[in-house]
Amino acid sequence: MTGTRGGAERSLNSPPADTAPEPTVAAGTSPRRLYLVRGLVAIAWAVAFMALADSLTPVAAVLLVIYPLIDLVAVLVDASRPHRSSERRVLYGNAVTSALAAVAVAVAVATSGGSRAVLAAFGVWATLSGIAQLVVALRRRGPQSGGQWPMLIAGALSTLVGIVYNVTAATSLAPTFDPLVAYAAAGGAFFVIQAGLLTWRARRPATGRPARSSR
């Protein structure tokens, strides 16, 4: 009888079987926190660059180089999670693309390539990065990952916008950097939405389950 009562007490005190701790990206960093920080940083970048988008000043040039590096850091942090090898390869490939994009933008600025060269570099990076984002989001689809539909939309838009950037750089004599502001702000908003979906998903089991009787 004692063993039966002890087992019953343990079953009442133990957490429900379908309640699992949220997977971590790195030590103490959750996926939703990564999405939130990534999104807010992108929005902050867009706000800072908005006032400098009219000309390629030194400060604007530094911000242009920094933006792909923001994505590089976020992807590397994400890749530190336990993933299938195929998914990790896509993430590392995206990280390499972001690093090369930062170098290409820096070279375009240093060699006085002008807005056309910078926009072309951003266009190639946005297309490749968008494809990688689509692949990762498709493999992560599921209720535990918040559905990933904001990441799917963001990846598709990034791919299309990158193509538009390259067409604009090839056909316009003096393209502006204004589209980069909208690109960064929209991408950041989708990351924030994804973080919100993960938060909602994490809290829903606890709030949706009826309370247990104390008797």
CA–CA distances in Å: residue 124 to residues 41, 50, 56, 160: 22, 22, 20, 11
What are the tens digits of pLDDT across the range 166-196?
A: 999 888 877 888 889 999 999 999 999 999 9
Structure tokens at 160: 């299309």
Mean pLDDT of 73-101: 88
Cβ neighbours, 10 Å, residue 60: 20
Encode the chain in three state secondary structure. Answer: CHHHHHHHHHHHHCCCCCCCCCCCCECCECHHHHHHHHHHHHHHHHHHHHCCCCCCCHHHHHHHHHHHHHHHHHHHHHHCCCCCHHHHHHHHHHHHHHHHHHHHHHHHHHCCCHHHHHHHHHHHHHHHHHHHHHHHHHHCCCHHHCCCHHHHHHHHHHHHHHHHHHHHHHHCCCCCCHHHHHHHHHHHHHHHHHHHHHHHHHHHHHHHCCCCCCC
What are the tens digits of pLDDT across the range 20-71?
A: 344 443 444 577 889 999 999 999 999 999 988 787 888 999 999 999 999 9
pLDDT at 75 over 80: yes
pLDDT at 106 over 70: yes
pLDDT of 205 reads 56
Structure tokens at 47: 């706000």
Instruction: Report residue 147's pLDDT band, with 50, 70 and 90 as the boundaries.
Output: low
Instruction: Report residue 17's pLDDT band, with 50, 70 and 90 as the boundaries.
Output: very low
